[in-house]
Amino acid sequence: MLLGEMGRKKNKQEDNVQNIEQPQQPPQNHQHYQSDNEIPAITLTYGYAYISVKGAYINEIGRRNYGVPHHYVQNRWTRDGSDHSHLTLIPPQELKVALANAGITLPKKRQSRAIKALIQWITERVGDPATWNPNDWPVDLGLAFSNKQEKVVQEHEGRGGGASSVSKRIISSKAYYRVMHWPFGERIRQLLQLKPAFFHVTVGFDPTDVHGVYKGPGTLLSLDTSSSLLYYHHTATQYGIDEEQVLVNELANLVKVACHYIKDILFLDALANRCLCYREQLDACAVNWKFILQYSSSLQLSEGDELCMYLCFIMVLTTFVKDDMHDN
């Protein structure tokens, strides 16, 4: 079989998408976001042990929750204390490494000073966020979700002073988020010698948020063959097009950024399969998508060798670019 068909088993009740209307359809790029005069569009900030990106632009993305059950969104608002959102740049598990690579000592007390120094280190090299070119801001690729099962141990006090007991149960959590494409953020992480990350903005979850799982573009609903087109109802209504065209437009955007994810086999395989399903619509929009199919197929020959994967991608991409130029 040339390509593995991607699909995920989901609870039938959760497949019934709730169409949650929003006051206004949020845009799909940075050029038309609604600014909040009280806070900057985009800024670097920190928490106890992490650095994140916040601001009016990120809040706008986090409010793109149409199609997500309301109690999922409410759970996030309750956890965060507001509907403001954030995009994690350096998570707690990478903070010590980032500080060390920046030559900053992490004190036992007043850790916030070290984190502030790290933000200053970053801005000295890439500029203050207020000066960043909007083309370098994170780009929303679409809505996605991930599931995770966790074992929870609870201790119960014994009755009448008796011995306590321990119970174990499995909790299944689900989180919705917007997958973010952010090469500029990756460059910041490269300066700190950190591995590539899958940026995202959490929209909602139930009962708890999901951590430690893959949240890359391979989890996008637009690539999930079992997802409903109702997720695109609000966008379609706003722009006067049908849901299928919204999905095709999202696939076209993914094709444009695919070259940034040549190691993400899950994403490329899913994108190839989805493009095959909508080949006629993509061709009608003059989207040059076939190189994704050929590259995904050739990955079987690379055997995980990164250089081979890269050269294979460049070869396939170049071939189709030349063909496209010849056709024009």
Examine residue 203 and state whether it is found in any structural domain, yes or no. yes
**Residue 102 domain boundaries:** 15-145+176-215
Q: List, for residues 197-253, the tens digit of each pLDDT value.
A: 999 999 999 999 999 999 999 999 999 988 888 888 888 898 899 999 999 999 999
Lowest model confidence (mean pLDDT) among 47-61, 69-83, 119-133, 297-311: 297-311
Examine residue 162 and state whether it is found in any structural domain, yes or no. no
User: Between these two residues, 160 and 126, which has the higher pLDDT value?
Assistant: 126
Q: What is the pLDDT of residue 324?
A: 45
Angle between helices 306-327 and 290-302 (to 10 degrees): 150
Look at residues 240, 306, 252, 246 and name the one whose alpha carbon lies nearest to residue 279.
252
How many domains does the chain fold into?
1
CB atoms within 10 A of CB 224: 19
Examine residue 314 and state whether it is found in any structural domain, yes or no. no
Q: List, for residues 21-71, the tens digit of each pLDDT value.
A: 343 333 344 444 444 567 899 999 999 899 999 999 999 999 999 889 999
Q: What is the pLDDT of residue 309?
A: 53
Examine residue 99 and state whether it is found in any structural domain, yes or no. yes
What does the alpha-carbon distance between residue 59 and residue 88 come to, in Å, rounded to a whole number? 13
> What predicted TM-score, i.e. pTM, was given to this entire model?
0.80
Concatenating the DSSP letter of every residue in 50-98 gives -EEEESHHHHHHHT--TTS-HHHHHHHHHHHSSS---EEEE-HHHHHHH
